[in-house]
Amino acid sequence: MKSIKAVFPIFVLFLLISLLIFFFSQNPLTGGLQFITLPIQRFMFIASSPSTSTTSVQQLQEENSQLRQQLAQIQEIKSDDAALHDQFQTTTPAPQKLLPVDVVGLQQNSLILGKGQDDNVKVGDVVVFKNNLIGTVGRTTPRLSLVVLLSDQSTSFTADTTKTAAEGIVKSENGGIVTLDNVILSDKLEKNDIVVTKGDQNVQGQGYPPQLVVGKIVSVDKQASSLFQSAKIQSLVNISDLRMVFVITQ
């Protein structure tokens, strides 16, 4: 092992390069690196998905494998087509505002989408699947964007229930549990009632549009001694199954 005198300059050199990159050269480098990372992410996301896994016996049969690949491609086109068809039949949000985007990665409390600034995706854009709210765009690069899911701790917006019209604030607790909080005790919360966004868009069109489905109530926490009651919400969409989502562009 080299002495500290030999190690220290190397450490300082790499630290300086890292700091320079950190503060000065973000966009050109990010764009270039995503040429490498995007195909890997796309491949790994599809490969790790349970719906595309095959048994080991089938993998050994060369001919079957080729046919299966063709079938998978056709099915993928069909499911994309069905998703597009479903989405554009949904009246809320308006179809002309929707940008279909492939999901290329899934991380803790976030999704990575295959479109970014080059496709007019902006920070704050709302992401939906059919009329289900998925999250908002938290960060964009030229070719990719990161969607902050509802399970993220930064989540906070007004919503109400469809059946009882109880109003509250959707929040996320540590551990990714989404709740409808700050509901006054006189309002009624019912299990299996659907929670939808109340709508809090500004003049520029940014923010959550109304009537997007947040999820269904799975349990209610009401205590007479508390000021407010709350309910746990479960999304109607399985995030890990999503292949394509829709960004509401302004």
Question: What is the binding site for other proteins (CB under 8 A)?
Answer: 1-2, 4, 6-7, 10-11, 14-15, 17-23, 25-26, 29-30, 33-34, 36-37, 40-41, 44-45, 48, 105-109, 112, 139, 141, 144-146, 153, 174-176
Which one-letter amino acid corresponds to residue 5?
A: K
- Measured from the CB atom, the residue of 2 and 85 that comes closer to other proteins is 2
Cβ of residue 163: shortest distance to other proteins, in angstroms?
A: 31
Q: ω before 209 within 30° of 0 (cis)?
A: no
Tokens representing residue 206 in the block: 């940014």
Question: What SS3 state is found at 64?
Answer: helix
* Inter-residue contact 218 to 233 (CB < 8 Å): yes
- Measured from the CB atom, the residue of 18 and 58 that comes closer to other proteins is 18
- Measured from the CB atom, the residue of 146 and 248 that comes closer to other proteins is 146
- Measured from the CB atom, the residue of 161 and 172 that comes closer to other proteins is 172
Cβ of residue 46: shortest distance to other proteins, in angstroms?
A: 10
* Inter-residue contact 164 to 189 (CB < 8 Å): yes
Cβ of residue 87: shortest distance to other proteins, in angstroms?
A: 24
* Beta strands 132-140 and 194-197, pairing class: unpaired
Cβ of residue 33: shortest distance to other proteins, in angstroms?
A: 4
Judged by phi (left if over 0) then psi (alpha if -120 to 50, else beta), residue 51 lies in alpha
- Measured from the CB atom, the residue of 84 and 99 that comes closer to other proteins is 99
Q: How many other β-carbons are positioned within 10 Å of the β-carbon of residue 54?
A: 11
Cβ of residue 40: shortest distance to other proteins, in angstroms?
A: 6
Residue 172: enclosing H or E segment and its boundaries?
A: strand 167-172
Q: What is the DSSP letter of 136?
A: E
